[in-house]
Amino acid sequence: MVNGEWLIRGRDGRLTVYLPSDDAVLCRAERGPAGPWEDAPRTVGGSQKLRPGAAVGQGADGYAHLAAWRPTVPGESGLVHSTHFRPGLAPLDWVPIGHPDQKGDRTGPPAVAVDGAGRGYVFVRNKGGGVSLRNQKVKGGWGGWLDLAGHDVEGELAALTGESGLVEVYACVPGGILHWRQEGDGKKPVRTEGVDVPVRPGTLRALATSAEHTTLFFTDTSGDLCAWRPGEKPVTLIASAGPGPVSAVRCEIEGHDCTVLAQRSASGRVAFAAYPTEQESAGAWWTESGPPLPADATVSLALDEDGEVVAASLAPSTGTLLLTRRKDEPGLALEAWREI
């Protein structure tokens, strides 16, 4: 599984998917916007062997930043970073960025965000159970590892960049959620007030939803999908369709700013829901689409070159990659899913 939205639109309008492999990350792109796809995926970052659990993030410039663990010496691992500037071009070779504790084995899955100036930020749990960060510097290169503190962090982190261009990260802990955000460009993220809530690890997904706010989606221990904006109380949106994190994207539907969610449902199909952005009280309803998928399938959402919703599903156990787009019809009508 790749942490973050693994379906993205490049700066030339073409879509790219980032796919986990046995000991690598693969990428595959459209030959042209809304056109046919490349016949075969290419390997990200050269021949470097990786551990499972890569992460991807995208900047406003359209560039994708990836991070992953690689084996170093027996029993130890280190993190590496790559940048992918454009679909069709080879991503840069993996660059070692070290270990949050200087050395040791994997401490947790990384998360990636890209600030408004295009600098990559790699977040990861450290051996103390808190969160550490290493980010690219204003004048190039990488700064040192920063300990953001925290405790008892579980599951995947959710990192993102707000509309301000400032980076934020969310983490799940027993009985609650922690949150850090930058107070200024290039500054170390600081911890803000978290929230006590019964949250399931591995279900966090964050989205920039306005100039002032980011919204965190998570599943609570009763199985409800909830939304939380720091400074407010979490609200229950809808019963979760399935066990994993949702995918989320903002788009315009019939002139309204809407948030679209997608998740593999308990039936195995992909469930979609949409509601006016930041208006959870309006309610949301799941509508299932496409064929039943294996239990390991994940879904990712993006906007295509026309700003319309496009969704991809990947089942690693079968290697099947499916894609659908929104039709030119009222509401959230989708085309038939097709294998790519």
**pLDDT reported for residue 230:** 97
Question: What is the tens place of the pLDDT at every residue in 304-337?
Answer: 999 999 999 999 999 899 999 998 887 788 999 9
pLDDT at 328: 80
Q: What is the pLDDT of residues 133-170, one digit of tens each?
A: 999 998 889 999 999 999 999 999 999 999 999 999 99
Residues in Cβ contact with 114 at an 8 Å cutoff, skipping those fewer than 6 apart? 57, 58, 59, 60, 61, 63, 65, 120, 121, 161
Whether the model clears a pTM of 0.85, i.e. scores above it, the answer is yes
Contact 216, 205 (CB under 8 A): yes
Can you give the pLDDT at residue 295? 93
List the structure tokens of 37: 């796809």
For the record, the structure tokens of 258 come out as: 């809407």
d(CA 28, CA 104): 32
φ, ψ of residue 281 in degrees (nearest 5)? -65, -20
Provide the pLDDT for residue 290: 95
pLDDT of residue 139: 84
Q: Give the position of tokens 């903002």.
A: 250
The pLDDT of residue 86 is 92
CA distances from 4 to 43, 53, 112 (A): 18, 11, 8
Helix (H, G, I), strand (E, B) or coil at 81: strand
Spans of the chain, pLDDT less than 70 = none
DSSP state at residue 173: E
What is the spatial distance between Cα 16 and Cα 1, in angstroms, rounded to a whole number?
Answer: 16
Strand order in the sheet with 270-276: 247-253, 256-264, 270-276, 287-289
| The predicted structure's pLDDT at residue 1 | 85
